Amino acid sequence: MDDEVISLFPLGTERSASGHLMIAGHDLAQLAKTWGTPLYVFDAGTVRNQVNKIKQLLTQYYAGPNEITYAAKSYFSLGAARHMAEMGLGVDVVSLAEMSIARKAGFDADKVHLHGNNKSEEELLAALDWGIHAVVVDSLDELLFFEKLAEKRKKKARIWLRVTPGIEVDTHPDIQTGHLTSKFGFLLSDGQAAEGIRRAQASPWFDLVGLHAHLGSQLFEAEPYLDTIEMLLSLADRSHFLPIEICPGGGWGVRYTLEDSTESPELWVKTVGKTVSEQFARRGWPLPKLVLEPGRYIAAQAGVSIYTVGTTKVVSDGTTVVAVDGGMADNIRPAIYGSKYSLLLVNRPASGTQRRTSIVGKFCESGDILISNAQLPEMHRDDVVAMPASGAYQLAMSSNYNMAPRPTVLWLTPGNVEMLQKRETLDAGGWWMGA
């Protein structure tokens, strides 16, 4: 079982001769001892590998200019942002803080775009002042609001419009974004998107250069991307608008368990590249810059969460309940999406019979369950365990529930450990300290 589950961890994860789990040559049991748990680690090599894979696929399947912009919402910190910038990525930000960190980390303004369904005046002005590549306008209301701000600043804004194609994708309902009732984007079917294009083109304060759509996250099918691109291009055509940039979002999925799809991102990039090429060629339009916005695909597999086992007990239906020292404060995904995870012992390989086990957190909610009813080896107090595919939408959605400090986060390269996030402490201050 160990061997198979290891494939969900960062590339090159292995067991040492002494049975410890190793990533990039680092002994996770030793890291847990040194840094304490809960502990999160990112394997730099896996992040780079994912980025390079998409780069290579874009080169293979798309002849026009292209850009990969990392969706910062999946995981961001100053250290991580610096590494992403060094890898030549662009960045998709959704808040003033993400934009400020991107700037501090050295991202070129021309590789940044700002998303959000309710951007504040402060955020829009910061985007204008820094001169980011594009603000992705999300609604007619926002278009008018932003136009006034641009006029007040006497600065013409480069924009994309986010279009909602009305397509439902096969994923958890809460991470679908392109459906008819979505809070995001200009709906296509009722004419809002066409109206947005008309008004943006008519405004002296906007330079409309592109169209965007994002369908949802943790997707393994290509057809919705194909349909979306066709819809965006037919809208552009009807609106007499020639986009020079096109972005069909991010969304490609990753494996959290051995049951998850093994479909490769090749299907995604190939479909998107070919569809954009065909749709533009058919109209005799020059190929646009194709922008992809992956978050989960870049960050998830590289990240691992590491916990120490505390209490164990058997409940009335015979399930063994193993409590670890983290839980819903650092990983809310199982509680809100019913997300499934896998687990390996860090300090020894699995041995003996497996039992029906739930891994629970330490927080005061019965829903604080990281893994429900899985077949897992016997575990005892002080065992150290690791959960793969923990790099995206975990720390990024973490909280201080029960006043839990956010954990230490490390960036691992062979022979080096860099701290991306320092464990919060009461002494370090925060909202709980008052003024």
Ligand X SMILES: Cc1ncc(COP(=O)(O)O)c(C=O)c1O
Positions marked active-site: 364
Say how many C-beta atoms besides its own lie within 10 A of residue 286's C-beta. 9
Q: Does 90 bind ligand X (CB under 6 A)?
A: no
**What SS3 class is residue 6?**
helix
Q: Does 394 bind ligand X (CB under 6 A)?
A: no
Q: Between 293 and 330, name the residue whose CB sits nearer to ligand X.
A: 293
What are the tokens at 393?
Answer: 């939408």
Q: Between 241 and 297, name the residue whose CB sits nearer to ligand X.
A: 297
Q: Which of 39, 71, 246, 345 binds ligand X (CB under 6 A)?
A: 71
Q: Does 210 bind ligand X (CB under 6 A)?
A: no
Q: Which of 20, 83, 103, 115 binds ligand X (CB under 6 A)?
A: 115
Q: Which of 182, 217, 239, 394 binds ligand X (CB under 6 A)?
A: 217
In whole angstroms, the minimum distance from the beta carbon of 295 to ligand X comes to 3
Report which of 45, 58, 3, 61 is spatially closest to residue 291, judged by C-alpha positions: 58
Q: Between 120 and 311, name the residue whose CB sits nearer to ligand X.
A: 120
Residues 6+ apart with CB under 8 A from 141: none
Bridge partners of 134, per DSSP, are: 113
Q: Which of 37, 46, 66, 74 binds ligand X (CB under 6 A)?
A: 74
Q: Between 163 and 233, name the residue whose CB sits nearer to ligand X.
A: 163
Let me know: does 248 contact 268? Beta carbons within 8 Å.
no
In whole angstroms, the minimum distance from the beta carbon of 217 to ligand X comes to 3
Report which of 3, 4, 38, 65 is spatially closest to residue 257, judged by C-alpha positions: 4
In whole angstroms, the minimum distance from the beta carbon of 179 to ligand X comes to 13
| Cα 432 from Cα 435, distance rounded (Å) | 9
DSSP 8-state code for residue 286 = P
Q: Between 123 and 368, name the residue whose CB sits nearer to ligand X.
A: 123
Q: Where are the alpha helices (DSSP H) in 284-403?
A: 296-299, 333-337
Amino acid at 354: Q
In whole angstroms, the minimum distance from the beta carbon of 355 to ligand X comes to 34
| Cα 368 from Cα 69, distance rounded (Å) | 33
DSSP 8-state code for residue 426 = S
In whole angstroms, the minimum distance from the beta carbon of 299 to ligand X comes to 8
C-alpha atoms less than 13 angstroms from C-alpha of 284 in its C-beta half-sphere: 0
Contacts with ligand X: how many residues (CB under 6 A)? 16
Q: Between 103 and 212, name the residue whose CB sits nearer to ligand X.
A: 212
Residue in the block written with tokens 């993400």: 98
> 364 vs 125, 157, 325, 401, CA distance in Å?
41, 47, 12, 9
| Site pattern 222..261 for ligand X (x: CB under 6 A) | ---------------------------xxx----------
In whole angstroms, the minimum distance from the beta carbon of 338 to ligand X comes to 17
Say how many Å lie between the first and final Cα of the chain, rounded: 52
| Cα 194 from Cα 235, distance rounded (Å) | 7
In whole angstroms, the minimum distance from the beta carbon of 204 to ligand X comes to 27
Q: Does 297 bind ligand X (CB under 6 A)?
A: yes
Q: Does 295 bind ligand X (CB under 6 A)?
A: yes
User: What's the chain's length in residues?
Assistant: 435
| Cα 135 from Cα 158, distance rounded (Å) | 7
**What SS3 class is residue 1?**
coil
Q: Angle, nearest 10°, between helix axes 96-104 and 78-86?
A: 60
Q: Between 361 and 391, name the residue whose CB sits nearer to ligand X.
A: 391
| Cα 264 from Cα 219, distance rounded (Å) | 11
Q: Between 166 and 251, name the residue whose CB sits nearer to ligand X.
A: 251
In whole angstroms, the minimum distance from the beta carbon of 215 to ligand X comes to 9
Q: Which of 103, 119, 214, 362 binds ligand X (CB under 6 A)?
A: 214
**What SS3 class is residue 415?**
coil
Q: Does 294 bind ligand X (CB under 6 A)?
A: yes
Stretch in the footprint of ligand X (CB under 6 A) among 52-60, 192-200, 295-303, 330-338 = 295-303
Q: Does 211 bind ligand X (CB under 6 A)?
A: no
**What SS3 class is residue 186?**
strand
Stretch in the footprint of ligand X (CB under 6 A) among 224-232, 293-301, 319-327, 383-391 = 293-301
Q: Does 165 bind ligand X (CB under 6 A)?
A: no
Q: Which of 43, 46, 47, 92 binds ligand X (CB under 6 A)?
A: 92
Q: Between 114 and 384, name the residue whose CB sits nearer to ligand X.
A: 114
Stretch in the footprint of ligand X (CB under 6 A) among 5-13, 18-26, 70-78, 186-194 = 70-78
Residues that bind ligand X (CB under 6 A): 71, 73-74, 92, 115, 177, 214, 217, 249-251, 293-297
